[in-house]
Structure 1
Amino acid sequence: MHRSKQKLYLRRIGIFLLIMAITAGVMIGIFYKLYDASKQSIIGSWRNKTKEIAQEFSYYIKMPMDAVSFSAIKVNEMLKDNVPENEVGRYLIDETQVYSTIISDNTTGIYGYYRGTYLDGSGWTPPEDYEPTSRPWYIDAVKGDGEIVTVKPYKNLQTFTMMMSVSQLLDDGESVVSMDIFIDGVQKMIEDISEDKHIQEAFVIDKNGFIVAHTDSNKIAVHLSYDGNETDRELYEILKKEDRNYVEFSSSDGSNIVFIEDVNGVWKTVVVLDKRDTFSSLKSIYVMSGAVLFAIAMTLILLFMYLNEKHRENVELSREVEAIADIYMIVLKIDLVRDTVKTLRFNKGDARSFQSSFKNYRHSALKMADQIASGQFKALLERFMDPNTLEKRLEGINSISQEFIDYNNRWMRIRFIVVGRDEKGSLQQVILAFESIDEDKKRQEAFKKLSETDRMTGIRNRGSGESMIKSRLAEGKSGMFCVMDADNFKAINDNYGHKVGDKVIIEIAKCMQSAFRDSDVVFRLGGDEFAAFADGVENESVGRLVIGRFFEAINNMSIPELGDRKVSISVGAAFYPSSNVDTFDLLYMRADEGAYESKRYEGNFISFK
């Protein structure tokens, strides 16, 4: 009996130990998952922080990059048209004035190297021994082969501030457009970030390995690999792998965690954390697991905590997904196999075509496009939404998009995103999303208008006006081209002052706008010279009527500061085409000769050539 009780006791002990072992195994598994989830949550949090930091740097450098890119487009057009250096110089000065009102806080203006001549939009005069082609901004631009490049940071010896150049090589392979930007703001942001005690170091590095900003300001402009220690070189090798945005590695300095985010393709934001310090909060999980391993009740409590934590993470994830989806007005999930549509997001006030639900996408797609798009974009949107060609257009890619103007005259972007394919690669489900880009388009148009407008008069500048006339001539248009020159304008400036002279220029521009049609091209050549192209005016009788209106407006022009003095204009006019081989340059030359001939006569006078 005693032996039998002993066996039962041993059996109970064995069952108890087995239960405890199973419980321990379950608890270890639960706590391991909890530890891994918590670790991933911390990593995700730091990854988001790094993305936010990179986004701030992206805003900082995007405008200068856009400015250089846009100016390069214009100067490339001037290269093709053989525009003289002095006119390009004036254009850079105008552009610098434009950008000074937009990005004045972090740039000194536009400058460049044009057909062997250095041009500076800010008015800086280089010393005699200055050689542009030996400067980093020029050398790196040539290496970039037409891509926008950022140049190694340097210290401005006049202001003792850190600067960096953004440059682009032009189509002739020799000319370069560049802009210098102050990067003290980037350094300030890095220093603010470093106040977080978890961050071991943070810095911004360019594509060539030079440090743009660093928590240790002494490392600015040094090369991470060439000038750094063993840990820096190892980190540099990691940064060269473009697919890496998170990595853990050990070095002589300890175990580190590195978060990497791209900044506009020219910089990288790097945040380095001490691994042990970052995950030190997770140690409590091990203590907790040891304390509750033998308590069944605690198992249930910890399980509840685990599930509650998972629920919280899912809620946060759902909120994050909703936040991302907020940029889309309408989001539809289309099942191409079942030919059904599910509405994931829908703003009733933004799309009249979705007032009633529908089940058949193939039947409704063209009707939907017809209801959403404005008249001139209906055919374009119908082709984009055509379900019969969607498979072929998405072959080998996961997304396609199309911009259009909707029925409310707003710019929109529509996008197909692949959700699922079958084993053969055929489409099964796609997302169809609608996004408003109206504000972005308006900003782009405003920026373009600024660059094409003469700042003093508000009419077109020379580059914009000549470009528009050449386009019309290329389309086969005919008409009258005029060159206007104010008589004795220098005397007005000398006797009445430049402010009065500016008023005269502005009033002449107003007279041109009133005399010519809205469809005509009216622009300022520079100084007191103007030009206009009257579309469809092909003979002197009609031409004299047009210029007569202009002369009448000039005679009625009122500038109190001039008293009884009248402003007179010499005009030269020429008609296009005059022959089968006529060009804009020849047209301009004839009109210019006419203006010169009109100078021989007093008062308003026109000469036809």
Structure 2
Amino acid sequence: MKKRLTELKSLLKKLGFIGVIPFVFWPLFFLAVSFFVYKTEYELSMENIESRTVIETNDVAEDFNDYINNVTLIVDTASETVNDMITQGDSADDVQAYLERKSLHLNSIMSGDTKGIYGYVMGQYVDGDKWVPDAGYVPTERVWYKEAMNANGTKVVIDPYIDARTGKLVVTAAKLLSDKKSVISIDIWLSRMQQMTEDVAGDNPEQEVMIIDEGGTVIAHSIPDEVGKNYRETEEADNKKIYIGLRKSGGRVYMVKYNGEDYLFCPKKISDTWTVITMTSAEPVMRDVRQLTRVVMLSSFLGILITLGIVYSMTNQKLKLMNSDDNVDCIANIYMAMHKVDLDTRHLEVVACKDPRTAKIVADDKGTADEIMRNIASHMCDERSKSEVIDFMNLDTLDERIGPLSTISIEFLNVDHMWTRGRYIVAERRNDGTLKSVIWAVENIDTEKRSRDKLRYLAEIDQLTQINNRGSGEDKIRNALKTGDGGMFVLFDVDRFKSINDNFGHNTGDKVLMAIGEAMRKTFREKDIILRLGGDEFAAYTPTICSIEAGRPVINRLIHSIENIDIPELSGAIVNISVGAAFYLPDDNFSFEELYKHADSCTYESKKTKGSFVTFYQNASDF
């Protein structure tokens, strides 16, 4: 040993200070390079998986929100109808019959996700599925009734509890009616939400999906055994870390070591108290990073030239990973086609394309991105959607339309009459924030769209008359007022409608209301908005009709059509209506509520005249 030390000292003396530097510098340099490669690869890989996880979580949360919102819309619609029935003096049996009809519609659309609508009305328990509870069942002591009472008229989604009828865990949407003691509710089986989480996770073996409430209870989980556990109170350390991380994250992506491996958790709120979380394993990325680092460290000791080659290769890889294409590639498999557009050069690059017709158009067309995308829209869109899609795809206005957002989308029918979603995704921005490049992505949403439209139809249409209900109709009128075209608002009700119910029966009364709905459809134009406000009260809005001269023939046709309603049970009795009409001129700037008051005051005046009569609003001093 002493001899070797002597030889080493001799060698260092011969080399001198300059000669020793490479022996010290290069080992340190190789270690620094290895550390740099590890850190860079780790950060870029984590950014990549985090970006992909956020996109996937947003898509999952959107699906859950659509499902929950459609259910609460159904509760709103049913509550409005039952409120009207209570106001017009209908019995609890009438309400029971209505809930049975409504529940039958729901079961056909929601594929068994619910047993229907039920509630506590006029001191009685009513159930659209005809369930008769045990003698000891007290509706006012049930959680759905108490929570609705506490919400005081605001619809409420109640956290899971055990259903008295089935013994299963359910989530309930409920609403207190205007009499402050009646409640309408609908149960949703958690099995549906459980299936949704399992379906999402089934497409990615490295990912799990869960829904958790603020108290830490797992509502649904792609691992069924986890459902019902409370992650806040649990003794399982890993599950408790998930809940603690969620509370500290502020809605951002966070990492937790779970079962000895690193996982990314991406939370997204889907209601006031629920959060959907996607749980994605980071271990494959970490494994690749560690393997790459070992290769670099071993290769570095083969010599300076090999080390420089590795550094060059890693730098190239870093530049490639920093390009947003890698993030896009991670999600390209869910789209029919993805193309990257450089807004400076107007060059279109194929990222992925499963649709042969689009692929052929892109391959054959050698023009600019603007020309190619117009060509795609012209050949791939249904005639009804073509103009709107071409305007949406316009690259010249894209920067202004997308603004600070990361994506915008449009839904349209393709040439095969399938619903399709086109989406612009920001790929790169310049230093001043303007767009440099974008991704144009197209996906098939036909099944999702048609299912969503069925639920929306059920929520927006009055089931008796098959015209707009009050909520959807008034929203459409408010939007029409914003166009600046002006129009006529018509409000009317049936004279002595209660006597029709009393003398001829409620079934005959319902036939009168249905006949009025049919008369309105025949009288008004397709672009006009017609709605049933409730009971025997109806309304309509006719855009561009802004004078008495233009409006009177329309109302006269309506009166004539209603007076000629032929219902045998009426024994020849004529149905008369009292009509009020008010105009919203193109330069007017008052609210819909004010317009409604104008027409309502005219309706009141019309009631002073026997038989069908219309009064037009001209000046407030006239009333």
Distance 2:10 2:578 in 1: 120
2:326 aligns to what?
317
2:39 aligns to what?
36
Q: Is it true that 1:104 corresponds to 2:111 in the alignment?
A: yes
Uncovered stretches (5+) of structure 1, i.e. residues with no partner: 335-339, 350-354, 359-372, 376-384, 494-500, 556-565, 596-609
2:28 aligns to what?
25
1:257 aligns to what?
263
1:367 aligns to what?
none
Q: Is it true that 1:210 corresponds to 2:213 in the alignment?
A: no
1:444 shift after superposition = 7.5
1:587 shift after superposition = 7.0
2:546 aligns to what?
none
1:12 shift after superposition = 4.1
Q: Please give the root-mean-square deviation of Cα atoms over the aligned residues, in Å.
A: 7.1
Q: Is the 8 Å Cα contact of residues 72 and 177 (structure 1) preserved in structure 2?
A: yes
TM-score by length of 2: 0.56
1:238 shift after superposition = 1.5
Residues 287/515 of structure 1: CA separation in 2 closer, same or farther (3 Å cut): closer
Residues 129/238 of structure 1: CA separation in 2 closer, same or farther (3 Å cut): same
Which amino acid in 2 is paired with 1:317? D
Distance 1:196 1:90 in 2: 43
Residues 157/47 of structure 1: CA separation in 2 closer, same or farther (3 Å cut): farther
Q: Is the 8 Å Cα contact of residues 153 and 164 (structure 1) preserved in structure 2?
A: yes
2:159 aligns to what?
152
1:130 aligns to what?
138
Q: Is the 8 Å Cα contact of residues 116 and 186 (structure 2) preserved in structure 1?
A: yes
Give the match's secondary structure for 1:571.
Answer: coil
1:267 aligns to what?
275
Residues 249/169 of structure 1: CA separation in 2 closer, same or farther (3 Å cut): farther
1:572 aligns to what?
575
Distance 2:204 2:83 in 1: 56
Q: Is the 8 Å Cα contact of residues 172 and 188 (structure 2) preserved in structure 1?
A: yes
Distance 1:304 1:488 in 2: 93
Give the match's secondary structure for 1:104.
Answer: coil
Q: Is it true that 1:245 corresponds to 2:248 in the alignment?
A: no
Which amino acid in 2 is paired with 1:575? S
Distance 2:261 2:491 in 1: 75
CA deviations on 1:450-500 (whole Å, 9 max, x unpaired) are 4454657x74377689979x999xx98668754786999899x9xxxxxxx
Give the match's secondary structure for 2:576.
Answer: strand
Aligned with 1:70 (options 66, 69, 73): 73
Residues 64/44 of structure 1: CA separation in 2 closer, same or farther (3 Å cut): same
Distance 1:76 1:20 in 2: 83
TM-score by length of 1: 0.57
Which amino acid in 2 is paired with 1:460? I
Q: Is the 8 Å Cα contact of residues 89 and 121 (structure 1) preserved in structure 2?
A: yes
Give the match's secondary structure for 1:32.
Answer: helix
Give the match's secondary structure for 1:61.
Answer: helix
Give the match's secondary structure for 2:220.
Answer: strand
Q: Is the 8 Å Cα contact of residues 68 and 168 (structure 1) preserved in structure 2?
A: no
Which amino acid in 1 is paired with 2:190? I
Distance 1:54 1:416 in 2: 16
Residues 155/237 of structure 1: CA separation in 2 closer, same or farther (3 Å cut): same
Q: Is the 8 Å Cα contact of residues 214 and 220 (structure 1) preserved in structure 2?
A: yes
1:286 shift after superposition = 5.2
1:53 shift after superposition = 6.4
Residues 462/573 of structure 1: CA separation in 2 closer, same or farther (3 Å cut): farther
Q: Is the 8 Å Cα contact of residues 51 and 327 (structure 2) preserved in structure 1?
A: no
Which amino acid in 1 is paired with 2:266? I
2:233 aligns to what?
226
Residues 16/254 of structure 1: CA separation in 2 closer, same or farther (3 Å cut): farther
Q: Is the 8 Å Cα contact of residues 108 and 122 (structure 1) preserved in structure 2?
A: yes
1:303 aligns to what?
311
2:87 aligns to what?
84
Q: Is the 8 Å Cα contact of residues 425 and 440 (structure 2) preserved in structure 1?
A: no
Residues 490/549 of structure 1: CA separation in 2 closer, same or farther (3 Å cut): closer
Aligned with 2:523 (options 517, 527, 531): 517
Residues 441/197 of structure 1: CA separation in 2 closer, same or farther (3 Å cut): closer
Residues 215/402 of structure 1: CA separation in 2 closer, same or farther (3 Å cut): closer
CA deviations on 1:408-431 (whole Å, 9 max, x unpaired) are xx9999999999899xxx987799
1:288 aligns to what?
295
Distance 1:143 1:480 in 2: 33
1:295 shift after superposition = 0.7
Q: Is the 8 Å Cα contact of residues 482 and 532 (structure 1) preserved in structure 2?
A: no
Which amino acid in 1 is paired with 2:524? D
1:178 shift after superposition = 4.4
Distance 2:456 2:13 in 1: 89
Distance 2:561 2:280 in 1: 71
Distance 2:430 2:324 in 1: 28
* Structure with more relative contact order (C-alpha pairs < 8 Å, separation 6 or more): 2
Residues 180/56 of structure 1: CA separation in 2 closer, same or farther (3 Å cut): farther
CA deviations on 1:249-302 (whole Å, 9 max, x unpaired) are 69xx75753422315343221527597x97355443454345333212542453
Residues 213/60 of structure 1: CA separation in 2 closer, same or farther (3 Å cut): same
Residues 65/137 of structure 1: CA separation in 2 closer, same or farther (3 Å cut): farther
Distance 1:544 1:216 in 2: 62
Residues 28/171 of structure 1: CA separation in 2 closer, same or farther (3 Å cut): farther
Distance 1:119 1:112 in 2: 5
Distance 2:178 2:563 in 1: 44
CA deviations on 1:333-356 (whole Å, 9 max, x unpaired) are 99xxxxx99788999x9xxxxx99
- Further displaced range: 225-234 or 73-82: 73-82
Distance 2:181 2:165 in 1: 29
Residues 235/115 of structure 1: CA separation in 2 closer, same or farther (3 Å cut): farther
CA deviations on 1:175-213 (whole Å, 9 max, x unpaired) are 766432222244456668889999798643123321113
Q: Percent identity?
A: 17
CA deviations on 1:312-337 (whole Å, 9 max, x unpaired) are 53474274499699999999999xxx
1:180 aligns to what?
187
Q: Is the 8 Å Cα contact of residues 562 and 575 (structure 2) preserved in structure 1?
A: no
